[in-house]
């Protein structure tokens, strides 16, 4: 693979990109196109599979194999592909409606099985393609066309959901932070098994500014709690300490640095990552970003294929004639 020297341009298809001006999807696309050459994988061995929604147009703009499938089902289709073709690198592109509403079942089962899929969940907390209804990640009380007096639903926390689904790699990043997103993509790509990356993504038309707190120079320093394995968990103003068996957010000025929690992404106990995921609510005043959990667990496709290899090693390759002639047979002369 070392002779492959591809550039961002090699991963850019000839299709005109048709997202709304200012959409967060543009910067995610650009980051992914810039990152892909780094993988060292030939273009023909990379497949992007998406569902339905604004983000799901993504595969059309990448010069790899790609499928824009149906609403919510990308993880199911991608599972069949990844299991049967372990030689491929398979990515799933999905949104908060696609992955968490109509396709919730497929997402949790892909994660639980640990299928070799890198799932990029673009979370803009709104339905964009259908022109502005609340989504399963919209904050309660959201005023939209379908909820003129405010939405009643409690939102999903995608990180908590993924951890509850036994995900082995769970991370969060932000559309506009290319450097951070690239770091996460890099870590996800070497992870064996499923990786879920929630990407906060701005919808300039139906939910503009939803993540401004995390992007504005004046507020982001205090709002973003950086998760880096082996480093203390803190923002510019706050840090995390342990108190009463749980985590507590405190002002940095009130504690010594040595009291802050040092992040352990490889902690086998999912309760640790889950507790981290609960620090942020809909308000986004303190939001952990980075890798919540990155643990090793056998990946599904490798187990499927090693079961087959084991049977063949023990019994030999199947012979059709013997199969058809197996069981109780009799001759008619």
Partner 1 sequence: MRINNKYGEGLLNVSGASLRKEEIVSKPVVSLDHVVIRFAGDSGDGMQLTGDRFTMDTASLGNDISTLPNFPAEIRAPQGTVPGVSSFQLHFADHHIQTPGDAPDILVAMNPAALKANIKDMARGATIIVDKDEFTERNIVKAGYQVNPLEDNSLESYKVHAVALTSLTVAALAQISMSRKDAERSKNMFALGLLAWMYHRPTEATENFLKAKFGKKPEILAANLLAYQTGWNYGETTEDFAVSYEIAPAHMPAGKYRNISGNTALAYGLVAASQLSKLKLFLGSYPITPATDILHELSKHKKFGVITFQAEDEIAAVGSALGASYGGSLGVTSTSGPGVALKSEMIGLAVMLELPLIIIDVQRGGPSTGLPTKTEQSDLLQVMYGRNGESPAVVLAPSTPTDCFKMALEATRIATQYRVPVFILSDGYIANGSQPWKIPAISELPDLQVKFAQTQEDFLPYLRDPETLARPWAIPGTKGIEHRIGGLEKADRTGAISYDSQNHDYMVRMRAAKVAGIDVPDLEVDDPTGDAQTLLLGWGSTFGPIASAIETLRANGEKVAQAHIRYLNPFPKNLADVLKKYPTVLVPEMNLGQLSNMLRSQYMKDVTGYNKVFGVPFTTLEIIEATMAVLYV
Contacts with partner 1 by CB under 8 A lie at 13, 15, 42-47, 49, 52, 59-60, 62-70, 73, 75-85, 87-88, 105-106, 109, 304, 307-308, 311-312, 315-318, 320-321, 323-333
| Cα(127)–Cα(136) distance, integer angstroms | 9
| Cα(69)–Cα(293) distance, integer angstroms | 29
The CB-of-58 to partner 1 minimum distance in angstroms stands at: 10
Closer Cβ to partner 1, 18 or 278, answer by number = 18
| 3-state SS class at 103 | coil
CB 111 within 8 A of CB 120: no
The CB-of-7 to partner 1 minimum distance in angstroms stands at: 15
Residue listed under structure tokens 């005109």:
16
Closer Cβ to partner 1, 62 or 199, answer by number = 62
Closer Cβ to partner 1, 76 or 273, answer by number = 76
Closer Cβ to partner 1, 74 or 249, answer by number = 74
Residue listed under structure tokens 């999912």:
270
| Cα(156)–Cα(93) distance, integer angstroms | 19
The CB-of-176 to partner 1 minimum distance in angstroms stands at: 26
Rg, the chain, Cα only: 22
Alpha carbons within 13 A on the beta-carbon side of 41:
19
Bridge partners (DSSP) of residue 224 are 287
Closer Cβ to partner 1, 43 or 228, answer by number = 43
Neighbours of 77 (CB within 10 A): 18
Closer Cβ to partner 1, 94 or 138, answer by number = 94
Q: What is the 3-state secondary structure (H, E, C) of 270-293?
A: HHHHHHHHCCCCCCCCCEEEEEEE
The CB-of-261 to partner 1 minimum distance in angstroms stands at: 35
The CB-of-105 to partner 1 minimum distance in angstroms stands at: 6
CB 226 within 8 A of CB 289: yes
| Cα(129)–Cα(144) distance, integer angstroms | 14
The CB-of-6 to partner 1 minimum distance in angstroms stands at: 12
CB 187 within 8 A of CB 170: no
The CB-of-295 to partner 1 minimum distance in angstroms stands at: 22
Closer Cβ to partner 1, 13 or 130, answer by number = 13
């Amino acid at each position: 693979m070392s002779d492959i020297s591809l550039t961002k341009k090699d991963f850019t298809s000839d299709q005109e990109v048709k997202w709304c001006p200012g959409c967060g999807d543009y910067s995610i696309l650009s980051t992914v196109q810039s990152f892909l050459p780094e993988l060292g994988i030939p273009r023909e061995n990379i497949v992007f599979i998406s569902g339905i929604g604004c983000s799901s147009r993504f595969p059309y703009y990448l010069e790899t194999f790609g499928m824009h499938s149906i609403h919510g089902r990308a993880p199911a289709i991608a599972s069949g592909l990844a299991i049967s073709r372990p030689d491929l690198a398979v990515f799933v592109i999905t949104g908060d409606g696609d992955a968490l509403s109509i396709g919730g079942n497929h997402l949790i089962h892909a994660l639980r099985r640990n299928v070799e899929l890198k799932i990029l969940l673009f979370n803009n907390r709104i339905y964009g393609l259908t022109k502005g209804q609340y989504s399963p990640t919209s904050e309660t009380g959201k005023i939209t066309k379908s909820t003129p007096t405010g939405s009643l639903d409690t939102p999903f926390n995608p990180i908590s959901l993924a951890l509850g689904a036994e995900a082995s790699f769970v991370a969060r990043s932000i559309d506009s932070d290319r450097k951070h997103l690239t770091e996460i993509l890099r870590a996800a790509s070497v992870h064996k098994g499923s990786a879920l990356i929630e990407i906060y993504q701005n919808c300039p038309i139906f939910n503009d500014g939803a993540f401004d707190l995390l992007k504005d120079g004046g507020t982001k320093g205090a709002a973003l709690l950086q998760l880096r394995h082996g480093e203390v968990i803190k923002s510019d103003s706050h840090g995390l300490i342990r108190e009463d068996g749980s985590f507590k957010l405190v002002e940095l000025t009130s504690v010594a640095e040595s009291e802050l929690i040092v992040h352990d992404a490889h902690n086998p106990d999912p309760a640790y990552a889950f507790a981290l995921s609960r620090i942020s609510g809909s308000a986004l005043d303190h939001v952990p970003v980075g890798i919540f959990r990155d643990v090793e667990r056998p990946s599904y496709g490798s187990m499927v294929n090693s079961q087959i290899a084991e049977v063949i090693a023990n019994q030999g390759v199947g012979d059709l004639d013997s199969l058809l002639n197996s069981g109780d047979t009799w001759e008619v002369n």
